[in-house]
Amino acid sequence: MVKVACERPDHYGRSLSQWDCSELALQMVAVGLVARISASTIRRILANHKLKPWRHHLWLSAKVARDAAFSAAVEALVRLYTRVLAPDEVVLCLDEKTSLQPRTRLAPTRPGKPTQVALVEHEYQRKGALNLLAAFDTRTGRVYGVTRPRKRQSEFIELLELLEAAIDPKIRHIHLVMDNVAMHQGKLVQQWLGTHPRFECHFPPAHCSWLNQIEQWFSILQRKRFTIVDFESLEHLAERLQAFITEWNERAHPFNWTTKSAAKVMAKCEKQSLSLAT
């Protein structure tokens, strides 16, 4: 039974994603291992072997080898996040949160009342989508953002121009941490960067979105602003996004990155890679 639980159901001709106790009990009877067995007995046996075949975790085949070069690239970014910056430099993390939809409800959302939770109409109207292009200052927590219906090099350059105008000219080194995608390295972007030498780009290795701190801020945005999606229009959505950024900046704070915490993540990645290899 333990052997069966450690293999995919399809291997035994069963059309199941994963085993559960009831299905394993049926399988044991079907193959003639026992005449009768209960799901609770299966559960006790599995618990004794520390098996939970009904659970799963996602993992990703790395496009970049987790070797010394990978570790060096991660360590370089972690140093950029944790070292003391010179007075004339800042570190910004950039990325895009895409396909943000207004989802106008057919009836207004009703706020919560005593003994009653907030009520959100199930039906909604589609009214297009927006993309939020944003940058996060790793030392102050300040966020810069623009909303646009499309996500191209021209929109990304608009974000860069916003940064150029907003950041004090005395800052001579602006480090940009961003994904290594075509939009961030296109000809138009390269031309713009060539005429603005104080910007310097840093690219995390592939499949390392956890190294981009703007993702942490995006998760806060998702939790606090998009738990209920009921905006009247694209314009209303854009205005509310800018209002959220303004409110955040009034009490902005950086995220507590340390070399020790990053080392823990790397150790976990190495441990997982070894377990998958074996």
Domains of the chain: 2-48 (no CATH), 68-261 (3.30.420.10)
- Angle value at C-alpha 227, between 221 and 232, nearest 5 degrees: 90
- 37 in helix, strand or coil? coil
Q: What is the pTM of this model?
A: 0.82
Query: How do strand 130-137 and strand 124-125 relate by DSSP bridges?
Result: unpaired
Q: Which residues of the chain have pLDDT under 50?
A: none
154 burial level (CB within 10 Å; 0-12, 13-18, 19+): middle
pLDDT value for 258: 83
pLDDT value for 63: 65
CA atoms within 13 A on the CB side of 188: 11
pLDDT value for 82: 92
Query: How do strand 104-105 and strand 124-125 relate by DSSP bridges?
Result: antiparallel
